[in-house]
Amino acid sequence: MVKRNGQNALQIHPLHVVDCTIIAQAFAELGWNKPLGQYMRYFEEQQAGKRNVHVAWYEQEFAGYLTVVWDSTYPPFRKEGIPEIVDLNVLPSFRRMGIATALLDDAEELISQRKDIAGIGVGMTADYGAALRMYAQRGYLPDGGGLYSHGQPVKFGEQVPVDDELVLYFKRELG
């Protein structure tokens, strides 16, 4: 936890329905396409046990979140029953404060109660550079499945768009 003056400045809790509007509004102010419907769907999936959402608040301000999907859409993870950490986001004004680390710590602890491996998919543009470094430092290694684009494996010589859907998957043994 991030601490300030001996107090816990950072609080992480499961997504509450009232959080959805606050989160969507925070990202709208940044011009990011993360609509209210996305968070309402996350809440419904959390209620159904398909996803857990960890929401970080720093001094009572929304700072970021991540989700754990228990049945990954990535075929190798799905086949092996590996939960996937999905959609880790920390608002720019709260970065480099240990919030992403705290969110990952909580998610990995939750996953470890069910499985000894966590998976994660990471975009391949420079925008994901800090995330890639952080995951490598935490011990995440490529799973060997190669690049995926829009949910499909990229074949040698194939041309695909370089966007947020160009992903390499990693996994880490927990415990």
pTM of the predicted model as reported, rounded to 2 decimal places: 0.88
CATH, residue 92: 3.40.630.30
Rounded to the nearest integer, the mean pLDDT of the chain is: 91
Predicted pLDDT of residue 97: 84
pLDDT bucket at 160, cuts 50 / 70 / 90: very high
The total number of structural domains that make up the chain: 1
Percent of the chain topping pLDDT 70: 95
Provide the residue count of the chain: 175
Each residue of 99-144: pLDDT tens digit?
Answer: 999 999 999 999 999 999 999 999 999 888 889 999 999 999 999 9
DSSP E strands in the chain: the ranges are: 3-4, 7-8, 10-14, 51-58, 61-69, 84-90, 117-123, 141-149, 152-153, 166-173
Per the structure, the complete domain to which residue 53 belongs is given by: 3-173
Distance (Å, whole) CA 41 – CA 121: 20
